[in-house]
Amino acid sequence: MSSHLQPRRSWEFRPALASDVGGLVALHQRVFDRTISREHWIWKLGARGPGANVWIAEKGGRPIFQYAGIPVRFRHFGSDCWAMIDVDTMTDPDFRRQGLLTQGAAKAYADWKNVGFAFSVGLPNEQWGSRAAALGWARVGILRWWVRWLDPVRMIAARLALPWAKAPRTSAGDRDHGFDTAPVLQSEQIGELWNLIEQDGVVRDSSWFRWRYLGGVPKWNVVGAWQSGRLAGAAAFHLDGNRECLSGIIGEVVGTRFQGLRVLLRRCCNDLRALGAVRVAMLIHPGTRLEEAALATGFLPRRASFSVEAVDLGGGLPLTAHFQGGDFDTV
């Protein structure tokens, strides 16, 4: 009997244990053909909220499936709740089309709902096919790529293997339109910034910046914009060295004023240029003030985008949320 006619078996699913991490790192390499470290897996998927955030199935003593989420605090219709960011769904190639995704996701959703998660949100890719709709995923937003070219001449020189002059370094402190910009070294400096912003979305407080960027694997650079001695905005960026030409990625930018967002974007671009980047990319939710600030700072939109989708686990869909690239693991 051909494999596609064989009956689908019912798998046993369980929460991942510390002893499973090595096997899950190996599964990541097999599924995505991309190596991650044990430290990266622990930083990203180590338990941070209520309940088990990683569910697996195993065969012959090794993991063959993972359904995982990152627990986050989320401001949802004006109140804070627990939400799950769906990431790194993995099925061993030898065990695909046997019901693992459908059964594993259903098991995870039931458990997450039971412990109080309001919804799960993520970026299902085309490999999910019809399973996304069958599992209850619905679109709640869009993230579009915006790009600013920092030095086209250097890009051409890099592709032709020609030498170019190193870009000048920016000063450690920048003053622009009444804002002072400088690196943020302690997440506590972010303090009450998030409470001043008051918008639905991932709670971007000091604990978020500490985990996601300052303590991330790999770590990010975080810069702040101060006005009259008070932090008015923060941005996170890093250098992506996995491309033919060095590119910069901005994970997110938050601020209380439009001009502050422009100043932060400009500072990120200057710092990335000094590090050798020839372009900077970021994901932006359409219709937001950040989109306007990006346009005013020389960024241009690209066609490429992600559909942000969510599964209601009892708390309602996050239809009023403002998403950024740093919410997910695409940057």
pTM to 2 decimals?
A: 0.88
In a domain, 270, yes or no: yes
In a domain, 123, yes or no: no
**Best CA proximity match to 34, nearest among 86, 81, 80, 90:** 90
pLDDT at 4: 47
- Which domain CATH number covers 25? 3.40.630.30
pLDDT at 172: 41
Distance of CA 184 to the CA centre of its chain: 20
pLDDT at 131: 74
List pLDDT tens digits, range 291-307: 999 999 999 999 999 99
pLDDT at 1: 41
List pLDDT tens digits, range 147-200: 999 976 555 555 555 555 454 444 444 457 689 999 998 888 887 788 888 789
In a domain, 133, yes or no: no
One domain for residues 113 and 154: no
Cβ neighbours of residue 118 closer than 8 Å, sequence gap 6 or more? 74, 76, 81, 82, 83, 313, 314, 315, 316
One domain for residues 47 and 163: no
Q: Which residues of the chain have pLDDT under 70?
A: 1-8, 126-130, 152-175, 177, 241-244
Number of domains in the chain: 2
One domain for residues 47 and 157: no
One domain for residues 181 and 307: yes
One domain for residues 46 and 174: no
Q: Please tell me the distance from the alpha carbon of residue 23 to that of residue 7, in angstroms, as a whole number.
A: 27
Q: 175 lies in which domain range?
A: 143-327
One domain for residues 97 and 153: no
- Which domain CATH number covers 276? 3.40.630.170
In a domain, 53, yes or no: yes
In a domain, 241, yes or no: yes
One domain for residues 159 and 49: no
**Best CA proximity match to 227, nearest among 252, 198, 266, 261:** 261
One domain for residues 150 and 90: no
